[in-house]
Amino acid sequence: MKIKFLLLSIFVGSLVFAAPQKFNVLFISADDMNCDLGVYGHPQVKTPNLDRLAKRGVVFERAYCQQSLCGPSRASVMTGMRPEEIGILSNKNDLRVKNPKVVTLGQAYRQNGYFSARAGKIYHYGNPSMIGSDGHDDPQTWDEKYNPIGIDRSQQENITRYGRGREKDKNLGISMAWWDPVSKDQDHTDGKVASKIIDLIEQKKDEPFFLAAGFFNPHCPYVAPKKYFDLYPLEDIEMQDLDEAKRDLEDVPKIALNRDLNHWPYYFADISVEQARKCKQAYFATQSFVDAQVGRLLDALEENDLSDSTIIVFWSDHGYFLGEKGLWYKRKAFERSVRVPLIISVPGMSKGERFSKPVELLDLYPTLMDLCGISTPSTLSGKSLRPVLESPQKNKWKKPAVTLVWYGESAWGYTLRNERYRYIEWMEGKEGKELYDHSMDPEEVTNLAGNSTFSEITALLSKQLESYVPQAPHFRNP
């Protein structure tokens, strides 16, 4: 009897003192991807692999970036702080110059015994000009990093470009441009990014890892194998009527459209509706191309028996306009520009759930630290989403999402999103305000900020926003 008791004690003791399992993390980002995705209910865009990921995790219906521009958004995600807190308000490469002691997300994993590596774009890159280089990377984040380069970068002479005077423009980072080669996925940069991460999954499957797959699509120029273009017949691509689009902008403060009205519609001079339609088709194609690469990564986890030990995060740095209101690109305060796709899958937690309250990309860093049992740096400004991932329908999450839109020292604004409203102040309200009721106006057509019926809610949201706006001097070393 004593022997049985001793054996039982040893067994129980081993359960109590055994080191907890370390989750791996597969951190997948897309560049300039909005929520026009099948997994978010879009009737055209095909995303079977994001649908597949959604079945094993939680889809965040209202996730928002902290600035609708690549560099600041990505720096915010990787530091867990707001762009204005770290002084990163543009696409310049000065994260470590301004924040030499910051501990980035991948760096935190390195410090806790993880192998940390990336392939492709996680921090800002000039896309496509910096493909194949380190871009604006942070070396302290990674043990290893890889910079694949595909035909989308090496054969740019084949890309069709639209807009007066831009036929031979080499700057395709802001462009209405596309190419649909008959090619293999692995001929393209994003295909090579996926292949490299798959290699690393196989090499590092027996040790804890933080692997970041940074896809460059659907950022312009919109380049993907022809088979993805074929998913979207051009005649099925719808564009908003331009007279209607112009009316949508009549009650919007001029500062809100800082650079978009110079050659309205579609940003560049002399872009036709049919050319915009072609670019929208190409954008959809690149979304499905990224989705296919996500599928390859999910397959690799399954083939290496890592699905039950790996947290998967899929996110994009900001949203994107595709002709709505006659607008194109990002860098605006509207819902379509600041809302992002976000899906998180955690072994043993909620599956096939959707969460409709606002969350921020800022919340990713503390969430992953929490899930992996790593001490969270005191500097982080977000909040762990673990309670949501454990029980999406029963939590008491109430935090709003706040986004900065920065055009320069004399042109900036903040927007706050709660469950029902989007509220925007330009230059602390001195240059205009916007209020949209998403319960009846999801496309943000009618600005209610000047409507006396909504004066009380406008004042309340302004008060809530006040605590997020830095006091003068407004921004640290912009």
Could you give the 3-state DSSP secondary structure of residue 31?
strand
Distance (Å) of CA 187 to CA 102, 192, 229 = 37, 7, 16
Which candidate, 55, 37, 57, places its Cα nearest to that of 347?
A: 57
Kindly name the residue from 65, 124, 220, 372 that is annotated as catalytic.
124
DSSP code, position 470: P
Helix segments in 417-472, DSSP class H: 455-466
The 10 Å CB-count burial string (b at 16+, else e) for 311-330 is bbbbbbbbbbbbbbbbbbbb
Given a contact cutoff of 8 angstroms between Cβ atoms, the answer to whether 303 and 233 are in contact is no
Kindly name the residue from 35, 65, 70, 279 that is annotated as catalytic.
70
Which candidate, 357, 376, 282, places its Cα nearest to that of 322?
A: 282
The one-letter amino acid code at 30 reads A
Strands 176-179 and 160-162: antiparallel
Cα separation of the two ends of the chain: 73
Strands 310-316 and 342-345: antiparallel
Residues 6+ away with beta carbon under 8 Å from 36: 42, 45, 284, 287, 322
Instruction: Count the alpha carbons within 13 Å of 133 in the hemisphere toward its beta carbon.
Output: 10
Distance (Å) of CA 18 to CA 10, 12, 182 = 12, 10, 53
Distance of alpha carbon 319 from alpha carbon 321, whole angstroms: 7
Is 65 an active-site residue? Answer: no
The 10 Å CB-count burial string (b at 16+, else e) for 168-203 is eeeebbbbbbbbbbebebebbbbbbbbbbbbebbee
Residues 6+ away with beta carbon under 8 Å from 63: 315, 339, 340, 341, 342, 358, 359, 360, 361, 401
Distance of alpha carbon 376 from alpha carbon 215, whole angstroms: 27
Greatest CA separation found in the chain? 90
Is 372 an active-site residue? Answer: no
Distance of alpha carbon 176 from alpha carbon 171, whole angstroms: 11
Active site positions, annotated: 70, 124
